[in-house]
Structure 1
Amino acid sequence: MGLSTNYEKHKASEITIREIREAATRIKGYVRRTPLMSCSPVRDAVNRAESLQLKLECLQVTGSFKARGAVNKLKSLTPDATARGIITASGGNHGLAVAYAGRLARVPATIYLPVTVSEEKIHKLNRWDARLVIEGASWDDSNRAALAVAERDGMAYFHPFADPVIIAGQGTIGLEILEDAPDIDTIVVAIGGGGMISGVAIAAHAIRPGIRIIGVEPVGAATVYKSIKAGHRIELEKIETAAGPLGARASEQLNLDLVQEHVSEIFLVTDDEMRNAARWLWFELGIAAELAGAAAVATILGSHYRPAEGERVCAVVCGSGTDGIEA
């Protein structure tokens, strides 16, 4: 697949704080500057969670951080490049963001989805007037189909995590966190393919070099964790998590290089731990986070990452939903 190969050729050094600041200017007015909220006070402060800060990307347009990267990608392209429409493959959230981009550009948006996509995501995508194609057991299968159609029909393809322009857009989260709380010591970020954590880490380390970046993956989709441990890019045989947005069977070398450079440690959480975190967010704070959106909080509530006394920690609540509350 030619397009996939092109993305793999990008180098981590191509993405700097300059590109992220340019992205912030480019997407301003098209995405929300989401709030940074303290958990304090809460009834049950678990593992120092009372002092935890939350970056509420669950309040972002379309319901997740993905709108940042998709809008940055759209605004980097000429009208001619998008004239035949835009296309992607997604576990749901990136698809919603690309559908939003299509609405902004007034061009058709086609979203390939795996069979594991939730009915809630399908309903949301239909409301954004996207053309949906459900094909493949996982995102990786859907992506191969989307790439083939993009090349055949000359459509603009939006990679969910291995495009420097997408990564720069997601990096604006890091800018906002440190503008609002310059003394943050640690940022905890969920990992699907690795686009969000890559961008956040580049921005955060450029502004505050000593800051710690912690990654979180589901036990049933430990794509980046296992690749880093193995010392090379691997593809999982199957995905075994209900957190669909975190269900990529393989990352790309660009993201793995950035994670190796910037991320201190990756923790694995179970679906039950994400579900418990989603319920904690809802009942304690009134925040409706999907399973994937609660992953960063789950690593703290589940005692995987134990902040030191006085450590200032921010967890990114990356997506909205009710799957963790209702299950």
Structure 2
Amino acid sequence: MLELSAIEDAARRIAPFVRRTPLMQATALREPVTEADLWLKLECLQPTGSFKVRGATNRLLTTPPEALANGIVTASGGNHGLATARAAFQAGVPGIIFVPKTVTPDKLERLRGWGADVRVVGNVWDDANREAQAYAAANDAVFFHPFADPAVMAGQGTVALEILADMLDVETLLVAIGGGGLISGMASAIRALKPSVRIIGIEPVGSPTLLASRQAGHVVRLPAVTTRVATMACGRTDEAVFAIVDEAVDDIVLVDDEEMLSAAKWLWSEMGLAADLSGAAAIAGIRSGKIALKPGEKVCALVCGAGKDALV
């Protein structure tokens, strides 16, 4: 587990540079998805459109400025790339972002809007990650890993501090999983402050990275990644991330790409929220019936990323 103090320090450190996002109750709906008392944590309202800005900002602020001279490099399905591009912009250094071919046109446009040098490499994140790490090593640049980095994980964990401050009676927390940095950071905070909370992760059917590792009892590399959701596509997680998830996360469910797309359309039509498919994953888990919730149960679902996926 991450130390609670590391997450609390991250919260204080990044506060001037990120938004304290609101909770919105899912009420007055034409098509309710559950009889539970459902609240949405709107991380889609962050400056770059996702929670990733928390981790990248904490990583930036814990890195000596002189180490940044040759730029910041990362590999991303889109959201972490945007957060890293913003960090490079803030630091006044080059941001070199490697993305797979599955990245959405919307994310590409926004990455270039931050002035990033965007390089499209490979079919999945793992391909882009190999190239990004090689580039960083060859050019003495700083690599911002999207999930296997304690500073990044601690930054993501600050989402949980805000949820507990605003919704102390929360009983169940629903969190999308890509590489696992978000859920591991949040779970570390939750288990330290309110261990009774049930934590459920949601992965794509086409990229069940943490579920497959949990079933095997150790980190495994998936034989194939078939989801088209680039922000949740990861062929292999990190050992430290897996250790936290295996200990602290109660359950992991799988949703397919079409269920996430349908959920994103629901978020737009019912809540006026433009979520990307990862941002709709928690709602997809509810709407598909794969997450059992009791009437009146206090549930918080993360809308963790913004995008135009449901608007086209």
Same fold (TM over 0.5): yes
Q: Deviations over 1:277-315 (max 9, x none)?
A: 111111111011111110011101111112123210000
Mapped partners of 1:19, 1:179: distance in 2: 17
Superposition pairs of residues 94-113 of structure 1, within 5 angstroms: 94-113=80-99
Residue of 40, 44, 63 corresponding to 1:58: 44
Question: 1:37 aligns to what?
Answer: 24
Structure 1 position 182 matched with structure 2 position 164? no
Question: 1:316 aligns to what?
Answer: 302
**Per-residue deviation at 1:106?**
0.7
Q: Deviations over 1:16-36 (max 9, x none)?
A: 110000000110111111111
Question: 2:105 aligns to what?
Answer: 119
Structure 1 position 18 matched with structure 2 position 5? yes
Percent of pairs with identical residues? 49
Q: Which amino acid in the other structure matches residue 162 of structure 2?
A: E
Residue of 284, 287, 290 corresponding to 1:304: 290
Superposition pairs of residues 241-320 of structure 1, within 5 angstroms: 241-320=227-306
Mapped partners of 2:32, 2:121: distance in 1: 43
Mapped partners of 2:227, 2:193: distance in 1: 34
Mapped partners of 1:137, 1:42: distance in 2: 38
Mapped partners of 1:24, 1:293: distance in 2: 22
**Per-residue deviation at 1:230?**
1.2
**Per-residue deviation at 1:257?**
0.4
Stretches of structure 2 that go unaligned for 5 or more consecutive residues are none
Count of residue pairs the alignment pairs up = 312
Mapped partners of 1:48, 1:230: distance in 2: 34
Residue range with higher mean Cα deviation, 67-76 or 225-234: 225-234
Q: Deviations over 1:239-275 (max 9, x none)?
A: 2112110001111111110101110000000111111
Question: 1:157 aligns to what?
Answer: 143
Question: 1:211 aligns to what?
Answer: 197
**Per-residue deviation at 1:77?**
0.7
Once superposed, which parts of structure 1, at least 4 consecutive aligned residues long, lie more than 6 Å away? none
Structure 1 position 28 matched with structure 2 position 15? yes
RMSD: 1.0
Q: Which amino acid in the other structure matches residue 27 of structure 1?
A: I
- 8 Å CA contact 2:264–2:274 kept in 1: the answer is yes
- 8 Å CA contact 1:274–1:324 kept in 2: the answer is no
Residue of 223, 247, 251 corresponding to 1:237: 223
More helix by share: 1
Mapped partners of 1:197, 1:222: distance in 2: 14
Residue range with higher mean Cα deviation, 204-213 or 72-81: 204-213
Q: Which amino acid in the other structure matches residue 118 of structure 1?
A: T
**Per-residue deviation at 1:319?**
0.2
Q: Deviations over 1:74-108 (max 9, x none)?
A: 00011111111110000111000000000111111
- 8 Å CA contact 1:47–1:303 kept in 2: the answer is no
Residue range with higher mean Cα deviation, 166-175 or 241-250: 241-250
- 8 Å CA contact 1:139–1:247 kept in 2: the answer is yes
Mapped partners of 1:53, 1:314: distance in 2: 5
**Per-residue deviation at 1:150?**
1.0
Stretches of structure 1 that go unaligned for 5 or more consecutive residues are 1-11
The SS at the match of 2:234 is: coil
Question: 2:79 aligns to what?
Answer: 93
Q: Which amino acid in the other structure matches residue 235 of structure 1?
A: R
Superposition pairs of residues 75-90 of structure 1, within 5 angstroms: 75-90=61-76
Q: Deviations over 1:152-197 (max 9, x none)?
A: 1111110000101100000000000010111100110000000000
The SS at the match of 1:52 is: strand
**Per-residue deviation at 1:204?**
1.4
The SS at the match of 1:74 is: helix
Mapped partners of 2:277, 2:81: distance in 1: 17
